Structure 1
C-alpha cells in the first residue's frame, strides 16, 4: 500500500527540495475552464489553441499555480500545510504538449509563525524557465501519515487521433495488392478506395462486376484503373480472393459486404486455404478517447470458446500485431471476473497458465499478467484500491477475453458507450485479413487497412 506523509516544521531544513513533472494536455484546459467558470473562447475553442490569449491563460492562470499547490500539498511540506502567499513571475507561455517540472527549495524558516518561504522554479522540456518566484506556507506541526488515495486518472485525447497516427505511418510505403471481397455497398467499396487513395493498398475488387460498378456510380466513386474480377456471388468471390493470395497476386484480404463465415470458410479450408501453424484469431484495435493509447481486444469474432492452446496463439498473434504498430513490449491482461486463481472459474486457471507459458518461452515479446478483472486491467486506481501490484494492471495494451461473447460485449460497449472507434483484423493466416463490421465507417476501415499494411511491412522487414 502507498502512503502519503508530510514533513513537520521541525523536520524541514533550509535547502530541502521537492519536484513534480507533468504534461499539459488539451483535456486539462477544458477541465480548468469548467472549474473556474471561464467561458472565454480563447480557453474553450480549439481554434484558439495557438493564440497568444490562450497561451497566456495557461501560463498565468490556474494550471501553473495548481502544479505548485499540488507539490506543496503532497510533498513539501505535505498534508497539513497552508498556502498563504506567493510572488510569482510568469516568464514564458506554456503550450499544450509541453512538459513542465516544478522545483521547490526551502529558502527560509520563520520560527515564530512556523512559516516557510520556498523558492519556486518551473521549467519546460527544453529547460526554459516558464514560472519563477517564491511561495509562502505555514508548515504542519503534527506528523501525518495515511494511505494515499487513488485518484481517478483522466486521460483524454481527440477521437480518432490514434487511428490517424497509424494511417500517417503508412505514408511513403509501397501499396500492398489487396483482394477486396464482394465490395457491393458504399461503405465497403468506399473504404477500399479511401485506403487506395492513402496509398496503403492496391485494390483488386472481387465480386459481381455489374453490381460493383453500379455501387461505385451511386456513391460517386471512380474505378478508373482498378482491376475487377467478376464473381457471381459472395461465396465465389471469397474463393477467388483466397486463390489470388495463394497465387501471390494479393498480400491482404479485405472483407466487403458479406458475412464473416462466408469469407473465412475458404480461408480456413485445409487444402486450399491460408492456414499456418498458428491458430487464426481476430483483434479489435480500439481508439478510446478516455484511454491514453490504443487498446486491443482479442478474440471477439472468430474463436467462440478457445482452449488453452488456442489462447496461446491468440496472445502471440496480438503481441506480434502490437510490435508491428510500434509497441515494443506490449502489456497483456488476461481477463476474468476475479483477480485470483479460483478452481471454479476456468478462465482464472488458464490465465495463470498463460503467464507461466511466458516464463517458459512459449509466448514471447510481451508482459503478461492475469487473471485480472476489466477494471483492474485498464484503471490504475482500481488496481491500487485492491492492492494489485503489477506491471500490467492499469496499463494494459491488450485485453485477452475468456470467450467470444465477453469480448464482443466489451468491444461494443466501448464503441457505443465510451465513444471508441474500432478497427478489426484477422491474424494467424498467411496474410492479414481486414475484418470490420458491415456498419463500420470509413475511418474504421482506413485504420483496419493501416493495421494490415503495417503488419505486412513489419513481417517483410523481420523476415528479411
Structure 2
C-alpha cells in the first residue's frame, strides 16, 4: 500500500474524530488556561487547537522558557497571553486562580506531571464540586461503530460504590451534553456477566444498575456486570444468552478500577490502533488531560471534546441566568 493510500485509509478509520473536531469548530473557541506548556509536544497541541479555532489560550508558566520553545520549533504565539510563573507547581496554582477569576472556562495540561496539576485542582481552594472528579478516555476505535468512552482509567485508583456513581454520571453528562447522543448505553464491566460474591465488582455493577432504576444515576441506560466481549459484541452476547439493550452495543465502558481501565485503554490504543482523547470531569471546569505519548490528533480531539462540553455548560448557564 502506498503512503498516500495508507493515509487515506487511516483517515477513514478515524473519521469519528474528524466529525468531533468539525463540530467543535462550529462553536465559539473556549477560553483555555494552559498549564506549563514548556515542551514541543504540549505547545504544538495548543498551537494546532488554537489554529483550528477550538480554543483561545492563555499560557501559564515560565514565560522565557515558553517563548524559547516556541522560537526553537517555529510556533507563532505572539498573540497569546502569557502569565509568568516560575515553575510547574506555581503554574498549576496560578491556573486555578485564573479559573476562580473567571479568566477561563477550561484547563489544559502542558508538560507538567498529572499529579502536580491535580493537587492544585483538588486542594481546598481548588476546583472541586459536590461531584467526585473522574477521567474519561473518549476513544476512536477503528473496528467499532461508535465512539467509545472508557472510565475511569486515570484518577480514581480503587473507586467505591458512591465514587462509581459519580464516575458514571460524569461520563453520561459528557456524552449527552457534548453532543454524542442521548441515553448512552453504559456497560459496567467485570470478568464475568453473572453476579457472584467471589468477584466484588459484579455486586457493585448490580447495585449501580439498581441505583439507576431508583433515579440515583440519570440520563443513561445501564447494564452490568458485563464481560468485555459481551459488552461490545452482539454475537458474544447472543451466545451467552444475554438479553439487553446495552450488551454488544455499549458506548460507555465503566471499569472496576484504574489498573484495569488503564490496561484496557492502552490495549485499544496499541493493539486496535485507537486514538484516545482524555478529559477530566467533576471539577468546576473540564480539564484536558493529555499524555506525553499522545498523538497530535489525540491532543486536538481532547480539546474538541472539552470545548464542546464547555460550550454546553456555557449555554446552560445562560439559560438558568
Instruction: State the TM-score, normalizing by the size of structure 2.
Output: 0.95
Shift of 1:461: 2.4
Query: Is 1:264 the equivalent of 2:96?
Result: no
Q: Decide which of 331, 350, 368 is 2:185's aligned counterpart.
A: 331
Greater share of residues in helix? 2
Given that 2:30 and 2:311 are in contact with CA atoms closer than 8 Å, whether structure 1 keeps it comes out as no
Q: Decide which of 318, 335, 344 is 2:198's aligned counterpart.
A: 344
CA 1:48–1:196: 2 relative to 1, 3 Å: closer
Structure whose CA Rg is larger: 1
Query: Is 1:300 the equivalent of 2:153?
Result: yes
Query: Is 1:289 the equivalent of 2:148?
Result: no
Equivalent position SS for 2:27: coil
Query: Is 1:164 the equivalent of 2:18?
Result: yes
Structure 2 residue aligned with 1:457: 311
Shift of 1:159: 3.0
Q: Deviations over 1:64-84 (max 9, x none)?
A: xxxxxxxxxxxxxxxxxxxxx
Equivalent position SS for 1:158: helix
Equivalent position SS for 2:65: helix
Shift of 1:164: 1.2
Q: Is there any run of 5+ residues in structure 1 with no aligned partner, and where?
A: 1-38, 50-155
Count residues with an aligned counterpart: 315
Q: Decide which of 193, 208, 211 is 2:65's aligned counterpart.
A: 211
Query: Is 1:319 the equivalent of 2:168?
Result: no
Q: Is there any run of 5+ residues in structure 2 with no aligned partner, and where?
A: none
RMSD over aligned CA atoms reads 1.9
Q: Which moved more, 1:222-231 or 1:296-305?
A: 222-231
Structure 1 residue aligned with 2:234: 380
The higher relative CO (CA closer than 8 Å, separation ≥ 6) is in 2
Shift of 1:326: 2.7
Q: Deviations over 1:234-290 (max 9, x none)?
A: 1000000010001000111000101110000010012x1001000000000100000
Given that 1:278 and 1:313 are in contact with CA atoms closer than 8 Å, whether structure 2 keeps it comes out as yes
Query: Is 1:365 the equivalent of 2:244?
Result: no
Shift of 1:172: 3.4
* Alignment partners' CA distance in 2, 1:307 and 1:447: 30
Structure 2 residue aligned with 1:190: 44
Query: Is 1:442 the equivalent of 2:299?
Result: no
* Alignment partners' CA distance in 1, 2:315 and 2:76: 33
Given that 2:31 and 2:106 are in contact with CA atoms closer than 8 Å, whether structure 1 keeps it comes out as yes
Q: Deviations over 1:86-125 (max 9, x none)?
A: xxxxxxxxxxxxxxxxxxxxxxxxxxxxxxxxxxxxxxxx
Shift of 1:442: 1.2
Greater share of residues in strand? 1
* Alignment partners' CA distance in 2, 1:172 and 1:310: 34
Given that 1:159 and 1:420 are in contact with CA atoms closer than 8 Å, whether structure 2 keeps it comes out as no
* Alignment partners' CA distance in 1, 2:8 and 2:60: 47
* Alignment partners' CA distance in 2, 1:171 and 1:365: 26
Shift of 1:171: 2.1
Structure 2 residue aligned with 1:121: none
Shift of 1:219: 1.4
Structure 2 residue aligned with 1:276: 129
Following TM superposition, the consecutive aligned residue runs of length 4 or more in structure 1 with deviations greater than 6 angstroms are 45-49
Structure 2 residue aligned with 1:417: 271
Equivalent position SS for 1:170: helix
Equivalent position SS for 2:13: coil
* Alignment partners' CA distance in 2, 1:413 and 1:162: 19
Structure 2 residue aligned with 1:224: 78
Structure 2 residue aligned with 1:56: none
Structure 2 residue aligned with 1:396: 250
Query: Is 1:201 the equivalent of 2:201?
Result: no
Instruction: State the TM-score, normalizing by the size of structure 1.
Output: 0.66
